[in-house]
Every structure is written in structure tokens, then in C-alpha cells.
Structure 1
Amino acid sequence: MSKLPGSAGVSVLGDKSLDFYRDPVGFCRERIEKHRSRVFLARLMNRPTVFVCSVKAATELLCGTSPLRQRLYVRVQVYTSELEACLLRLSLASLFSGSCLESSRDYINRYGSRWNSSVYSVFKRLGTELVLGLFLNVQAEEQPELFEEISQLCTQHWHGLISAPVNVKVPLWSSGFSTALDARDKLMDIIKDKLENDTRGFVGTLASLPLPNSSCASQHLLLFISALIPKALASLLTSFTLALCGNEQVHKQRQKYPDYLHRVLLEVQRLWPPFIGGRRIANQDSTLAGHNISKGYGAIYISYTVHRDPEVFQQPDKFLPERWSGRNAGQENVLCSLGNGPRSCIGSKLTDVFLKEACLYLLKHYSWSLDPPSQDLEYKWLPVSRPASLPTITFTQLAQTSPDNTS
């Protein structure tokens, strides 16, 4: 076993969290070049942490048998027992299929002409309507006050979770984390009421599952309706529209090759993953990518750098949808923007269907372009990837539409 390149430094003083959070992509690029390795050591959140930036190492971390325990930094219940996690996943997986997938298409059709220049905000609203409608049976047009209340609470919950974990309350002021805890409590009250009294759809079926304890269903629903999913959908749809601005070739290719849109969406996800990555903790001495990992070390995979690994992707920084029918055909499983392996995102199928339907709708009904043509499209990567300056896009409704081929 070889020694990990890099250094964890000394406790507190050697911590690089601020440098990483300021510019995670630049942080990783600089160290990959310095250490000539896509796996390196640094101190993050005051813990020695292995940064995983290659496809091979990320696949080993996420799909292998290494004893690196998942840790999710939100206040929901997460099972570390592999058997418990598998049983729970099987129970929940059945809910993310069938009628759940079918009804997701209705939300896109309802939007009709609501697309406007502020695409990220529109896509985020669409994602919010999707998750609250599917998971809680709360429709924006039927219960506008309840919908807006839950939306605001989800936003407060999300913003507090990504702030410093300092629970402080004084007259006329509360810390972001404290506000998030209050929002969580209010959301849990709404969720528990739904689980007890609503027998329809997803929430009704979830309440009937044989889950490990009485709080499990409400904890998972809290995660499902969080701002995480709408922001991820908004991120990917924004990147899709930007990638295709002025690109008429995609529309022609989609009609000629029915699976071309699938390749486009794979390339969007590869180049602009909505989440920077995920973290694991070694619960015993282990190995990763030929290196010894001590118990208690962290390991974080960085989706951006994994997806641009030159050993797997030629011309890794270029938008080339055709790569997925050529050299990288059949390699979709190396993408990790929604995780990978047995602990990957349980709603990935729903996300794929929703993205495809939304993108098909846009391609069928609109052409679009940046307005003004010259805009700063530099991305920020935390907490969710999107252009730092929200882009403005003009949508022009097509006078005649060709038959939609969704096969």
C-alpha cells in the first residue's frame, strides 16, 4: 500500500474547510496538479479526509465493500446497518415507480406558457410543486396558503442546515441553524398530520409500510420534501437550457435518433452535477485506491472531478453528447452526481423521468437563447451548482411543432 499524497496538517490550524468551501473546484484542481494524483489527503471539518477525484476510486468507495460508513449531515434518521438500509430501500423503492412516475408528467404539462427569462427560479418552483404534490398531496392551485407555508419552511430548513451549526436565540434574532430547527419542527407537525389522516398516494402508502419505528416515515418524508430535490432539478434543467442555447443541432438529432436526448442529459449531468459530492467516515482501518485509510478518517468524492477524469473521458471539459454512443457507451454507472452503488439516491428514476419529460416539452414547444447574448455564466458549486449570476433566457414558442418522439 502506498502513502496518500498530501497532508492532514495539525488539528484546527491545518484545517482547509474555508479554502474548500470558497472554491471546491479550484481547491481540488490545484491539489490534483500539485500531487499528480486524483486521490489526496487534506483536513476538512477538522478531520483528516481523503479527497476522491477519479472514477476508479469513486467506484470503489461507493460500490465496493470498504467499511466506510455513510454520514448524511441533515437532521434525519439514517441507518448504518447494511441489512436495515437494504430492507428500507426495498420498501421505499416501490413508491418511486408506477403512478408516481406517471403523475410527475402532469406537472410539466400544467406549466404551459409559464416559462420566462428567470429560468432557475421557474425550474425551482416547478420542482417544489412536484415534490409537495407527489409526496404530500399538497397542490399549489388547490391549497395555495398551505403550499406557500410548506415551501417557506422547506427553504428555512435548507438554509439553516447549510449554515454553521450554532443554535442561538435572543430577542428579535435567531441563528440560521436555530431557525432551521424551528422550521423542521413545524414541518414535522404537518407531515405527521398527513401520515395520520391522508390515505391517498405516496403519503398514504408510506404510512402503511412496516418501517423500523414510528418516526421513520416522517423522517424520510422530511427528506423527500426538502429543498434538496427542487434545487437539484432546477440546477440540471438550468444547465440543460444553457448547454442548448442556440444549438439547433440537438433538436434535429433528437428527431433522427430517439435516444439522443438521453445522451444530452448524461452529458449535462457529467459536466454540471447538481451536488459537489458526498462524504463517508471510515468506521475501521480500511483501504481505498491502494492507500491505507485509518479509522475515523473521512472520504469525500467530488463529482465534478470524478466526471472529468481524463482516464475515462476524452476531452473531459467539452460538451460532447455523442461520447455516450461511442467510447463511453454503457458507462452511465460511473456518474455519481446522485450517488452510486447501494446507497445511491432512491429517487433517481423519478428524477430521470421528470428531467426527460421537462426537456422534451421544452424542445417540442420552444426555441430559446441568452438575452442579452453576453452573460457571466461562471458556476458556483456550493451548496448546489448553478451560475453565480442567474442567467436570463428568452423563450420563443414554436409556431409549428413536430410529433413528439419519446421512445
Structure 2
Amino acid sequence: MYKLPGNAGVPVFGDKSLEFYRDPVSFCQQRIEKHRSRVFQCRMLNRPTAFICSVQGMRELLCEKSNLFLKDPTDLMTNMYGDTIVTSNGEEACLLRLSLTSLFTGSCLESSSDYITSVCERCLKDLSLSGQPECVYSAFKRLGTELVLGLFLNIRAEEQPDLFQEIMQLCTQHWHGLISAPVNLKVPLWSSGFSTALDARDKLMVIIKDKLENDTQGFVGSLGSLPLPDSTSASQHLLLFISALIPKALASLLTSFTLALSGNKQARLRAMEDPDYLRTVLLEVQRLWPPFIGGRRIADQDTTIAGFPVPKDYGAIYISHSVHRDPEVFQQPDNFLPERWSGRNAGQEHFLCSFGNGPRSCMGTKLTDVFLKEACMYLLKHYDWCLDPPSQDLEYKWLPVSRPANPPTISFTRLDLTRSDRSDTN
């Protein structure tokens, strides 16, 4: 067994958290090159931590040895969302997953398709109307917000515009609690970002509890009838499902999709006509530009990852950006090559970890796939698009959700109806 490369540092002074948060991609790449290893250690959040940047290491952490690594009970997610499936461990996590899975599969998923189609049409039909370049990330974030509030809370923007705007603003304030220092401080005329986020959470919970008590339809009605562990579990999970996490993830992936196919009319036409090719495009978008940088666990006992020792109480962080560029698995790892998913990497979708992996992976992955395919197909059928201006700085920032640091602008040109669209209207 080899020694874990790197240095765990000394408490406080040896901590590398700030360096990581400034630029997580460069942080990992420099250490991968320095240690000639895609698994290494340093001190993160004042805890010795193993960084996992290989497909093999990720699969061991999240799949084969997932029972040996726990979610951190002191994580900010617990402060912001309470005890949910994201923050729980052990038997509690398994029971929550069993209870909630039915809401994201089968007939529940099918019943959402008409609403998803209608929201995509309403939010995307006017992208070319102004004749000016569109800030696509903002447009897609609005789309994602309408989707989650309509599906999970039965609040439709076109039916209850004032309530929709109120919740959207509260969700934005709540989100800032995840990216603020956890200091709950109020003084006259000023509150810390974390304090404002906690206030927004409390206001959202009032709206959510009212919905659970009075709405028996759709997702919120089904959630309220599930055998969850306690009386607060349903409201805490609804808070998680309507939070800014999902709209931002959708906006991230849709922005990357439009950038990847910008100016490539041939690829857009092929993706519109061939559902399997669209699937490979979306897999490649997810591989190269995962919306979330990774996830963190705590070792519950001495173990190994990729042949390296990981002692009990060590942190373990998988870095999706680095895992997805593991050259042992993905040839030409930095190139956008959708065809890899019908060739050498066919059937290897489980090597991606944008939304986790293994038994603790995101339950909403199938729903996210439906969202993305519906939105992308609408764009492909109805628009040509290109970067405007053609030369823009598309360097990505990776935290808290990946997107170009300078929001890109794209010009959309409306297409004539396709033959299939015309036949649908006859």
C-alpha cells in the first residue's frame, strides 16, 4: 500500500480552503501534476482530507465503499435545509430514499411532462423577440425556477405572479446562506448574509407548511401523504426541492449546451433529428462542465481509496471536474467529443458524478434529464444561435455552481417551422 501523496498540514495554519475556493480546478490540477497522482491529501476545512480526482477513486468512495464514508453533520446544508436526504446518514438516509423515490419515477414523472413542455415553450419562445443578444444564464435560471415552483409547490408564474416573485426572491436570499460565512449577526439597519438567509428560510417554511396543509394535488400533495420520519421532514424536503440549487444547475447545463453548439449548425441539426446524438451531446456537456464541483464525506473507519490509506475521520472530497477528465478513462479528456459516448465510452455513463453516484446519488436525475431534453429540443427546433459578440471571455468559474465568470450573450434567430411541426398543426 502506498502512502497518500501530499501533506495534511498543521491545524489552522496549514489549511488550504481559501486557495481551493479561489480556483478549485487549478488547485487540483497543480497537485495532480506535482504528486503525479489523481488522489492526494491536504488540509481542507481544517481537517486532513483526501482529494479524489480519478474515476476509480470516485467509484470506490461513492459506490463500493459508500457505507464507510458519512455526510458531514456540521455541513452548511444542515443549517440551511435541516435534516434531509442530502444531510442524513445510515438507516435514516435509506428510509428517506425509499419514501421519496416514488415521487421522481414512473407515473409521477410521466404526469410532469405536459407541464414541463408548456413552461419550456412559454419561457423560451421570445428569445429572439428583442433582436438583441440574450444573457442566456439568466433566461435559463428563470426557466428552472418556473419548473421547480410549478412542479413541487403548485405555484405557477402566470397564475400567481406576486407569490411567484416573492418566493423567487426568498429563494435567492436563502441561497446566499450557502455561500456566506456562517455568522448569524443582526445590528440596526444591517444583517449578515447568513442571517438574511435564515430569515428567508423561515419565511419560505411558512409558505411551504401552508401548502402542505391545504394542497392535496400534485407533488406537494403526494409528499404530504408519505410515511416520513417526523412532522417537519416533508417541509424540509420541499425547501430543498424548490431551492435555487436546481434552477442554477439547469441554467449551468443549458448555458454550456448553447455554448458548445454555438455556431455549429450541422451539430444542431443532427441533435434535433437524432435523439441518441442529443443524448451523447448532453452527456459530453455534463462531463466537461459539471454544474457542481463535487462533494465531501468523512471516513467512518480506516480504509483505502485507489490503493491509498484514508484514516478514520479524514475528509474525502471527489472533484467531478477532475474525475470527468481522467485520461485513463476519457481519451482527449479536454475535447468536446459527443461521439465518445457511442464509441469507447458507450455504456459508461456511471463514470460521471455531476449529481453524485452510487446509492447516495441525486434522486432527481431522471427528472433533470427530462427538463434538459425538453428545453434543448425546443431550442434546436426553433432557433439558430451564435455568440454575440463573437469574441467573449468564456473562462468558467466553478463555485458555487459552474458557469462562465462573465455571463455570455447569445443571439437567437427564429427558424421556420419544421415539417414535423407543420404536420402536428394540421
Superposed pair shares fold, TM > 0.5: yes
Question: For 1:73, which of 73, 76, 86 is the aligned residue?
Answer: 76
Question: For 2:115, which of 103, 106, 112 is the aligned residue?
Answer: 103
**Aligned mates of 1:258, 1:112 — CA distance in 2:** 20
* Paired amino acid for 1:39: V
In structure 2, what is the equivalent of residue 280 of structure 1? 297
> Share of identical aligned residues, percent?
73
In structure 2, what is the equivalent of residue 234 of structure 1? 251
Show CA shifts across 1:225-252 (max 9, x none).
Answer: 0000000000000000000001112133
In structure 1, what is the equivalent of residue 131 of structure 2? none
Question: For 2:208, which of 191, 196, 199 is the aligned residue?
Answer: 191
**Aligned mates of 1:78, 1:111 — CA distance in 2:** 31
Query: Compared with structure 1, are the counterparts of its residues 81 and 373 closer, same or farther at alpha carbon in structure 2 (3 Å cutoff)?
Result: closer
**Aligned mates of 2:64, 2:90 — CA distance in 1:** 13
Aligned to 2:41, the other structure's residue is in SS state strand
Show CA shifts across 1:299-337 (max 9, x none).
Answer: 010000000000000000000000000000000011000
**Aligned mates of 1:293, 1:73 — CA distance in 2:** 24
Aligned to 2:345, the other structure's residue is in SS state coil
Q: Is the 8 A contact 1:364 1:402 kept in 2?
A: no
Q: Is the 8 A contact 1:191 1:221 kept in 2?
A: yes
In structure 2, what is the equivalent of residue 32 of structure 1? 32
Q: Which runs of 5+ in 2 are unaligned?
A: 129-133, 422-426
Offset of residue 90 of structure 1: 2.3
In structure 1, what is the equivalent of residue 323 of structure 2? 306
In structure 2, what is the equivalent of residue 115 of structure 1? 127
In structure 1, what is the equivalent of residue 392 of structure 2? 375
Query: Compared with structure 1, are the counterparts of its residues 271 and 180 closer, same or farther at alpha carbon in structure 2 (3 Å cutoff)?
Result: same
**Aligned mates of 2:6, 2:377 — CA distance in 1:** 45
**Aligned mates of 1:280, 1:101 — CA distance in 2:** 35
Q: Which runs of 5+ in 1 are unaligned?
A: none
Task: Tell me if 1:83 matches 2:100.
Answer: no
**Aligned mates of 1:148, 1:164 — CA distance in 2:** 26
Q: Is the 8 A contact 2:49 2:316 kept in 1?
A: yes
Task: Tell me if 1:59 matches 2:59.
Answer: yes
Show CA shifts across 1:339-381 (max 9, x none).
Answer: 1111111111110011001000000000000011011101000
Offset of residue 255 of structure 1: 5.3
Query: Compared with structure 1, are the counterparts of its residues 3 and 78 closer, same or farther at alpha carbon in structure 2 (3 Å cutoff)?
Result: farther
Show CA shifts across 1:184-210 (max 9, x none).
Answer: 111111111110111110001100001
**Aligned mates of 1:144, 1:54 — CA distance in 2:** 46
Query: Compared with structure 1, are the counterparts of its residues 219 and 185 closer, same or farther at alpha carbon in structure 2 (3 Å cutoff)?
Result: same
Offset of residue 73 of structure 1: 3.1
* Paired amino acid for 1:228: L
- Structure 1 window deviating more from structure 2 (141-150 vs 249-258): it is 249-258
**Aligned mates of 1:54, 1:114 — CA distance in 2:** 42
Task: Tell me if 1:148 matches 2:165.
Answer: yes
TM-score (norm 1): 0.96
Offset of residue 258 of structure 1: 3.0
Task: Tell me if 1:385 matches 2:399.
Answer: no
Question: For 2:342, which of 325, 335, 341 is the aligned residue?
Answer: 325
In structure 1, what is the equivalent of residue 197 of structure 2? 180
Q: Is the 8 A contact 1:101 1:350 kept in 2?
A: no
Offset of residue 89 of structure 1: 1.3
Show CA shifts across 1:125-150 (max 9, x none).
Answer: 00000001101111111111111111
Offset of residue 103 of structure 1: 2.7
Offset of residue 112 of structure 1: 4.5
**Aligned mates of 1:173, 1:158 — CA distance in 2:** 18
Q: Is the 8 A contact 2:395 2:405 kept in 1?
A: yes
Query: Compared with structure 1, are the counterparts of its residues 61 and 396 closer, same or farther at alpha carbon in structure 2 (3 Å cutoff)?
Result: same
Question: For 2:312, which of 285, 292, 295 is the aligned residue?
Answer: 295
Q: Is the 8 A contact 2:289 2:402 kept in 1?
A: yes
Aligned to 2:40, the other structure's residue is in SS state strand
Show CA shifts across 1:53-106 (max 9, x none).
Answer: 000000111111351002353132146443332222122121112313443222
* Paired amino acid for 2:28: C
Q: Is the 8 A contact 2:269 2:380 kept in 1?
A: no
Task: Tell me if 1:224 matches 2:241.
Answer: yes
The structure with the greater share of residues assigned to helix is 2
**Aligned mates of 1:185, 1:93 — CA distance in 2:** 26
Offset of residue 257 of structure 1: 3.4
TM-score (norm 2): 0.92
* Paired amino acid for 2:354: S
Query: Compared with structure 1, are the counterparts of its residues 266 and 255 closer, same or farther at alpha carbon in structure 2 (3 Å cutoff)?
Result: same
**Aligned mates of 2:206, 2:184 — CA distance in 1:** 21
Query: Compared with structure 1, are the counterparts of its residues 118 and 287 closer, same or farther at alpha carbon in structure 2 (3 Å cutoff)?
Result: same
